[in-house]
């Protein structure tokens, strides 16, 4: 039984609950036993919710500091602290395409004190490529969606194209000539590139990088041709005309750059890939604890300062209906079902 395995304190509470039920008359013994067992099993979760949180909460971000996921975690940490009454700190645990950080969160005690913050790359793409001893859906409890944005295909300023249609025409006229940066096998950038190739009948060569910063440096130095990255991270470079935004990989145009068309608008209908961020707890975290965490996230997104900071990053806050644990669970499952066949069909290998 899980109650026994998690420690003598919970076993003691369970026994106390059974004693409190009393012996009763023999003819009602069976009904009393069933009710007592249910009460005993409910005590650990109820006690956890009543006492939670009693100490610091850690948000594990499986990417280096400075990226969008890290920024979002830090933006919500303060309002979550106010809602929960305990310090909320961000811890960057990187490596193996984000799987080290995700794995550490999964293997932590399911008590609500160590949580996993991640995005499409860490919670969809990476575990389809890297061999891990856990399952990204089965070994996490969803808490809430955090934000959504778009991926955008960009080019170095010296590439002789000025939009998505021109890019497709140039790639077809110059097959296997263009280079496209990636930031790890199974990353959003990598899968976006493969997806774009499949949908447009084009082909280019991939150049692996260790992170977004060196990609930006080489794009601005005209050393690599293309990159499909998270739009919000590149917004300052667009505004400074250091790189060219060509086409967004979303259903609708991106608010900060309304002049950039979608894939559907340049002739590739039903071609989009959402880039989103979420919050999870280890499997087995009591539901009342999940509910408290979810409530803290909802309160954070009602904070005008949080709303402004996320809007400035080009991030969209989910609707109230999208902020439930159940909504994140359903959406996460649908993303796995959509993208894992493409990733595994491409026979991608961990770099």
What is the tens place of the pLDDT at every residue in 66-97? 888 999 999 999 999 999 999 999 999 999 98
pLDDT in tens, 266-275: 988 888 898 9
User: Is there a common fold for 57-148+276-345 and 150-266?
Assistant: yes
> For residue 132, what pLDDT band results from cuts at 50, 70 and 90?
very high
Residue 43 DSSP class: H
The two tokens of residue 313 are: 């990053």
Q: Quick check: 144 pLDDT over 60?
A: yes
> For residue 336, what pLDDT band results from cuts at 50, 70 and 90?
very high
More confident residue, 210 or 105: 105
Distance (Å) of CA 144 to CA 177, 198, 290, 313:
42, 32, 9, 19
Report pLDDT for 50: 77
Chain centroid to CA 276: 6
Segment 156-170 shows an average pLDDT of: 96
Report pLDDT for 351: 65
pLDDT in tens, 184-198: 888 889 999 999 999
Q: Quick check: 321 pLDDT over 60?
A: yes
The SS3 assignment for 338 reads: helix
Using left for φ > 0, alpha for ψ between -120 and 50, and beta otherwise, residue 170 falls in: alpha
> For residue 170, what pLDDT band results from cuts at 50, 70 and 90?
very high
Residue 98 DSSP class: G
Right CATH number for 57-148+276-345 from 3.30.470.20, 3.10.20.600, 3.40.710.10, 3.40.190.150?
Answer: 3.40.190.150
Of the candidates 181, 69, 185, 186, the one whose C-alpha atom is nearest the C-alpha of residue 125 is: 186
The two tokens of residue 218 are: 């080489």
Class of domain 150-266: alpha beta
Domain positions in the chain are: 2-51, 57-148+276-345, 150-266
d(CA 310, CA 147): 8
Report pLDDT for 3: 37
Residue 315 DSSP class: P
Percent of the chain at pLDDT above 70? 86
The mean-pLDDT minimum among 40-54, 104-118, 145-159, 207-221 falls in: 40-54
Segment 253-257 shows an average pLDDT of: 91
Q: Quick check: 242 pLDDT over 80?
A: yes
Residue with tokens 């989009």: 272
pLDDT in tens, 15-57: 444 444 444 444 454 455 444 445 445 455 555 567 899 999 9
To 5 degrees, how large is the angle CA 57–CA 58–CA 62?
A: 160
- pTM reported for the whole predicted model: 0.82
> How many Å from the N-terminal Cα to the C-terminal Cα in the chain?
41
Report pLDDT for 2: 38
């Amino acid at each position: 039984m899980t109650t026994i395995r998690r420690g003598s304190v919970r076993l003691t509470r369970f026994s106390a609950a059974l004693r409190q039920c009393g012996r009763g008359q023999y003819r009602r013994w069976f009904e009393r036993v069933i009710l007592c067992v249910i009460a005993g099993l409910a005590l650990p979760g109820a006690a956890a919710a009543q006492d939670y949180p009693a100490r610091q909460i850690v948000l594990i971000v499986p990417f280096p500091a400075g990226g969008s996921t890290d920024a979002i975690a830090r933006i919500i940490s303060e309002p979550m602290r106010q809602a929960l009454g305990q310090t909320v700190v961000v811890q960057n645990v990187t490596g193996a395409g984000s799987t080290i950080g995700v794995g550490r969160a999964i293997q932590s005690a399911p008590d609500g004190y160590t949580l996993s913050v991640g995005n499409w790359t860490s919670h969809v793409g990476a575990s389809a490529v890297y061999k891990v001893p856990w399952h990204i859906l089965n070994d996490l409890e969803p808490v809430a969606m955090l934000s959504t944005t778009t991926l955008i295909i960009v080019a170095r300023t010296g590439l002789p194209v000025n939009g998505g249609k021109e890019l497709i025409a140039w790639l077809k006229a110059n097959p296997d000539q263009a280079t496209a940066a990636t930031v790890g096998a199974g990353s959003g950038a990598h899968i976006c590139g493969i997806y774009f190739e499949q949908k447009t009948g084009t082909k280019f060569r991939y150049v692996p990088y260790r992170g977004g910063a060196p990609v930006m440096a080489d794009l601005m130095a005209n050393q690599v041709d293309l990159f499909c990255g998270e739009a919000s991270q590149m917004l300052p470079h667009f505004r400074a005309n250091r790189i060219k935004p060509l086409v967004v990989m979303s259903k609708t145009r991106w608010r900060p750059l309304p002049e950039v068309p979608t894939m559907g608008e340049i002739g590739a209908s039903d071609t989009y890939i959402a880039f989103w961020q979420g919050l999870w707890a280890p499997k087995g975290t009591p539901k009342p604890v999940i509910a408290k965490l979810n409530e803290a996230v909802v309160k954070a997104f009602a904070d005008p300062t949080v709303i402004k900071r996320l809007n400035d990053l080009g991030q969209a806050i989910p609707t109230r209906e999208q902020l439930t644990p159940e909504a994140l669970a359903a959406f996460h499952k649908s993303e796995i079902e959509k993208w894992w066949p493409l990733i595994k069909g491409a026979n991608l290998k961990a770099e």
